[in-house]
Amino acid sequence: MAITESAGVQQLIAKLDVAVTADTEAARAGAVKRVLADTIKGGGFELAPRFFVPRPDAYARRLLHRDTTRGYTAVVMTWGPGQGTMLHDHAGIWCVEGTIAGEMDVLQYEISGRDETGRYRFAPRGRVRALPGASGALIPPFEYHILRNGLDDRVSVTLHVYGGEMDHCHVFVPEEDAWFRRAERHLAYDA
């Protein structure tokens, strides 16, 4: 069900409906990544004004489209200045993220160790400055990252397409000596 009815959003959804039918997760993510990059860079894609309104306390997460038949969701996230995520995973679900407005810093990580108490260590695996039109894919087990608004004075907006309903993830809470403790975080949509 689409929440907004703009022609650009409906065209995006029609393209996503095709892209998510690829045979493998990697092929689906690749096809969705091309759709997002082409749609955002191509112009004519406009979101309703509500998608550009940040929350004062944390980034906003708003449902754009859910397709239970094809098994994907499209979520718009709005990031106020300085807002970002903790180090987190995607609960085993593939995801493609595209920057619509502003700039995002994406810090990528890989698990580099685990101890007997269930704590984790992470090694940095790259940093990307995502400008409008940029998109990237996360395919488990390569799904650990931090996202944050790369601008100090403006809102950034991103579009995330998930291979399912991402209603939870795991965040990694820093502890002493560069160890992290995994905690489940339930996710909801903002109005």
- Average pLDDT, integer, range 162-184: 96
pLDDT band at residue 5, thresholds of 50, 70 and 90? low
pLDDT beyond 80 at 4: no
CA distances from 160 to 87, 91, 111, 122 (A): 17, 14, 23, 24
- Structural domain of 118: 7-186
Amino acid at the residue 101: A
Residues 104/79, Cβ–Cβ less than 8 Å: yes
Q: How far is residue 119's CA from residue 182's CA, in Å, rounded to a whole number?
A: 7
Q: How far is residue 47's CA from residue 55's CA, in Å, rounded to a whole number?
A: 17
Whether cis (ω within 30° of 0) applies to the bond prior to 141 is yes
pLDDT value at residue 2 = 42
Give a yes or no: residue 20 inside a domain: yes
Give a yes or no: residue 182 inside a domain: yes
| Segments of the chain assigned E as strands | 60-67, 72-79, 95-101, 104-114, 119-130, 135-138, 144-149, 156-162, 168-174, 180-186
The answer, as to whether pTM is greater than 0.85, is yes
pLDDT value at residue 43 = 77
| Segments of 43-134 assigned E as strands | 60-67, 72-79, 95-101, 104-114, 119-130
Give a yes or no: residue 1 inside a domain: no
Q: How far is residue 20's CA from residue 170's CA, in Å, rounded to a whole number?
A: 24
Report residue 82 CA to chain centroid gap.
17
Domain count, the chain: 1
pLDDT above 70 covers a percentage of the chain that reads: 97
pLDDT beyond 90 at 32: yes
Average pLDDT in the chain: 94
- Burial pattern 148-184, b for ≥16 Cβ within 10 A else e, equals bbbbeeebbbbbbbbbeebeebbebeeeeeebbeeee
- Burial pattern 101-134, b for ≥16 Cβ within 10 A else e, equals bbbbbbbbbeeeeeeeeebbebeeeeeeebebeb
Residues 66/150, Cβ–Cβ less than 8 Å: no
CATH number at residue 169: 2.60.120.10
Give a yes or no: residue 75 inside a domain: yes
Give a yes or no: residue 102 inside a domain: yes
**What digits encode the pLDDT tens for the residues 50-96?**
999 999 999 999 999 999 999 999 999 999 999 999 999 999 999 99
- Average pLDDT, integer, range 148-166: 96
**What digits encode the pLDDT tens for the residues 89-145?**
999 999 999 999 999 999 999 999 999 999 999 999 999 999 999 999 999 999 999
Give a yes or no: residue 112 inside a domain: yes
